[in-house]
Amino acid sequence: MHPSSGRTVGAIVEEERLKGIFRSVDVNGDGEISSGELQRALGNGSFQYPFRLDVVERMISMFDRDFTGTINAREFVALWQYVSDWEKVFRRYDTKSDGYIDRAQFGTCLYAMGYRLSPYAVDSVVKRHGRPDSRGLHFDDFLACCVTVFTLTDIFRVHDTRQNGYASFNYDDFISKLSRAKY
């Protein structure tokens, strides 16, 4: 543990490494990076997968705490850790180590995390966020699918007062909740 911060030396070194990656893509030096810059950072980092721009934009909207449409170094470090954690989950289900998971593996993954979706619901999410010509979900597709399921589940749970998988809300509330959601 580092005496002044209570964090391990390894955590401090990793944060400095990530800040270095951040600075390398912050082309104008304003302390903020755009979706294109984040896409480059993720591609040049430890992730072996390309990231679609729409997925990168969704991640920015999740971590952009000051609502600038960009992220600063602190937000970048948090985002990177989030992506790293999800990559570990993805690798666990990428049993062939080919950079893809299929619909069944994705459904199994969701089930293991406590999400009891029908094959039809899993298929709907995969069709919405996956690539139509793909052998399965790439890592960024997987990330987009997970974010969608978790975000929509959080919205649903507010109205599922008995936690039994049923909710009641009116059309206006439904539209306003989905319109504000970052999924």
DSSP letters, 49-88, are S---HHHHHHHHHHH-TT-SSSEEHHHHHHHHHHHHHHHH
Answering whether pTM is above 0.75, one says yes
CATH class of 7-84: mainly alpha
Sorted by where each begins, the domain ranges of the chain are 7-84, 94-183
User: Over pLDDT 90: what percentage of the chain?
Assistant: 37
What is the CATH number that goes with domain 94-183? 1.10.238.10
Q: What is the mean pLDDT of residues 16-43?
A: 91
At 129 the pLDDT is: 86
Same fold, 7-84 and 94-183: yes
Q: What is the mean pLDDT of the chain?
A: 86
- Does position 109 have pLDDT exceeding 90, yes or no? yes
Q: pLDDT per residue over 52-61, tens digit each?
A: 898 899 889 8
At 66 the pLDDT is: 87
Q: How many CA atoms are closer than 13 Å to the CA of 16, on its beta-carbon side?
A: 7
Q: pLDDT per residue over 62-106, tens digit each?
A: 899 888 999 999 999 999 999 999 999 999 999 988 888 998 999
Least confident residue range of 33-47, 116-130, 135-149: 33-47
Q: Mind giving me the DSSP string for 18-59? A: HHHHHHHH-TT-SSEE-HHHHHHHHHHTT--S---HHHHHHH
Residue 45's pLDDT band, with cuts at 50, 70 and 90, is: low
Is the pLDDT higher at 2 or at 29? 29
